[in-house]
Amino acid sequence: MPRRLWWVALFLVATPAFSSDRADAVLVVTDDGALDAPTVRAIRNVAVSELRKRGIAISDDRRTDGVRPVDDELAMLVSDLGARRVFALRVGGRLGQKIPLSLAELSPETLAPVYSASLTAGQLEECDVVTERLVDAVLGRSSVESAARMTTVTAAESRPFAKKPGERFWFVGLPVALYNGGGTPAGFSLGYGYEAENFRISVTGAGYSRGGDGVAYAAMEAAWIPFSTEVSPYLGFGAGYMGAGGHGGLGGLVELGVEAFRLHGAARSPVLRHAGPRPDRARAPQRLPRRVRAPRVLSRRPQAFFSLEPRAGQWNDAPRSTVALQKSELPPLLALTPLLLVLMLSKR
């Protein structure tokens, strides 16, 4: 009797060990994607190995080999094996060299998907890396992207983004006389920027002078180019640090131009550009009386072809910032508006 009890006790102690080694999960391939059988078997073996590394006991029953669609026969097989977890691996076929793979965990009772993940291998040799990522994502209930590590990034994920075309340019500009008299303008501009089909961004430094008036600045610019043809007008704006007429500070610029030879490596562009710092309003009078004439405010300045100055016989009702501008506390508008010939040199 004591010997019999000893064997019973030994059996009870050993039972949990046998139970822990018993397979409680099933992995089946639900679609082979028209790949050859050895390749599908290799992919399945990788998935089985990765699941076992993570503590999942996968059944080695031969009935789980081959392709097993999700149907009543699979439900009966799961019931016969007493599996508590069911995994379904699907090969989506070939897209050139690419092979889409997906892994899902199914409910043992209904075979309904509990969680799934998909990822495409760039080539056949990448299927093991993709399968490892899928196992991590399904067991961790996370996205397949978050399961990536430095050693499991696929070729498709590591390729550079495809972007719209654009070019880098150097911009070299020389001023041309915009109005008569006052000598020849001097100065130049130099910039560097990126131009796409319908916009341009750049950084520009420039300095111009004519007579006693001048302006220098360094600014960041952006321009809108409406047409992608050989010749297109454009409108640009910029902001930066500027100095003019003994004053300096943050300022802005506006430019209107036409860009030619856009379909070639070097382009030419005549530009009408106005730049200047913010006016000092505190140094200007509040407002001129309405009946005060101001026909000779700029009488000693060269007259522009396209002038924005008041003509003789007109009443001056300008705000104080404009009056300060006209009284040369800053150079006049057209003295700061050079016409540039800009050569754009492509830097590929």
**pLDDT tens digits for range 258-316:** 888 887 766 666 666 666 555 555 544 444 444 434 443 333 433 333 333 444 443 34
Contacting residues for 266 by C-beta, under 8 A, at least 6 apart: 343, 344, 345, 346
Task: In whole angstroms, give the CA distance from residue 198 to residue 222.
Answer: 11
Contacting residues for 206 by C-beta, under 8 A, at least 6 apart: 173, 187, 188, 189, 190, 191, 216, 217, 275
Mean pLDDT of the chain: 75
| CB 232 within 8 Å of CB 248 | no
Report which of residues 252 and 22 the model is more confident about.
252
- The reported pLDDT for the residue numbered 262 is 82
Residues 216-232, mean pLDDT to the nearest whole number = 91
HSE-up of 345 (CA within 13 Å, CB side)?
A: 7
Q: Is the pLDDT of residue 76 over 90?
A: yes
Task: In whole angstroms, give the CA distance from residue 309 to residue 332.
Answer: 9
- At 317 the three-state DSSP class reads coil
167-289+316-347 CATH pick, 3.90.45.10, 3.40.50.1000, 3.40.50.720, 2.40.160.20: 2.40.160.20
Tell me the percentage of the chain whose pLDDT exceeds 90: 40
Task: In whole angstroms, give the CA distance from residue 330 to residue 207.
Answer: 15
- The reported pLDDT for the residue numbered 314 is 39
Going by the DSSP 8-state scheme, the letter that residue 217 receives in this structure is E
What is the token pair recorded at 283? 């140094």
Residues 243-255, mean pLDDT to the nearest whole number = 81
| DSSP string computed for 48-74 | HHHHHHTT--B---GGGSSB--SSHHH
Q: Any idea where the domains of the chain sit in the sequence?
A: 23-157, 167-289+316-347
Topology given in CATH for the domain delimited by 23-157: Rossmann fold (3.40.50)
pTM: 0.52
- At 152 the three-state DSSP class reads coil
Tell me the percentage of the chain whose pLDDT exceeds 70: 67
- The reported pLDDT for the residue numbered 291 is 40
Residues 25-48, mean pLDDT to the nearest whole number = 94
